Structure 1
C-alpha cells in the first residue's frame, strides 16, 4: 500500500500528514506516509486543491484536512 499526502508543506498539509501517520499506526499497517511537495507531481495526479490524500496513486480526498478516523475509514476500503 502506498499512502501519499500531497501539498506544498503548509500547516494544513503537515496536519494531514500527522493524521495519516497516526491512522496508519493505529491500524498497524506498517507502511510509511510519503509527502509529495513537487507541484508537477501534484498536478499530474489531478489535484488542484491541497492538502490531498492519495492511496495507491488514487486521490481519495482533496482540499481538506481529514481526521485520523476519516483516514482510517479510507484506508479500510
Structure 2
C-alpha cells in the first residue's frame, strides 16, 4: 500500500523537487528529504513552500513556452 501511494505521488506530483535539484546540481532524494524535514520542523510551512514553488514553476512553463517560429504568437 505504501509503495502504491509513493508511486502515485511520484508519478502525479508537480516535480518541484526534481526541477529544483537539477537546477542546483543535487540529488533529488536529498531535496525531497529536505522538504520533508522542513515540513515537520516548521509545522507545514515547508509544504506551503512546496506548493508555492509548484505554482510558480507551472506559471513559468506557461509563460515561457518554446515556440517553433515567430508566427506562433
The alignment's TM-score, normalised by the length of structure 2, stands at: 0.34
More strand per residue: 1
Larger radius of gyration: 2
More helix per residue: 2
Bigger relative contact order, structure 1 or 2 (CA pairs below 8 A, ≥6 apart): 1
The alignment's TM-score, normalised by the length of structure 1, stands at: 0.33
